[in-house]
Amino acid sequence: MENKLIEGLYCKTGKVEWKKVSIGIDVEKFSKELIRLKPKITDRGFINIDICESRDGTKLYAQLNDYNPNAVKKQVQSKDHSPDREDLPF
């Protein structure tokens, strides 16, 4: 599975009520990360990043969101499930 964590982007909970997340950027690491993510950049020049919370609720982290609703999914045919059984009557 591909690593979706974003290197060089550090998230902390905001210190005041109106500031939800504070993000620090290690410019050197993040610039390398953008090069690594270049194949994921959309036609409009964007990548999407989600700010997530750890399961225990103690840390925030940045993760690549590469969901593409327009991706064409191949529809599975019955012959794909059992390619050696083409002569079945059902």
Would the pTM count as exceeding 0.75?
no
**Beta-carbon count within 10 A of 33 CB:** 20
- pLDDT of 45: 87
Look at residue 74 and tell me whether its pLDDT is greater than 70. Answer: no
| CA–CA gap between residue 49 and residue 65 (Å, rounded) | 5
Look at residue 71 and tell me whether its pLDDT is greater than 80. Answer: no
Look at residue 87 and tell me whether its pLDDT is greater than 70. Answer: no
Look at residue 2 and tell me whether its pLDDT is greater than 90. Answer: no
Look at residue 88 and tell me whether its pLDDT is greater than 60. Answer: no
Please, are residues 13 and 59 in contact by the beta-carbon 8 Å criterion? no
- pLDDT of 53: 92
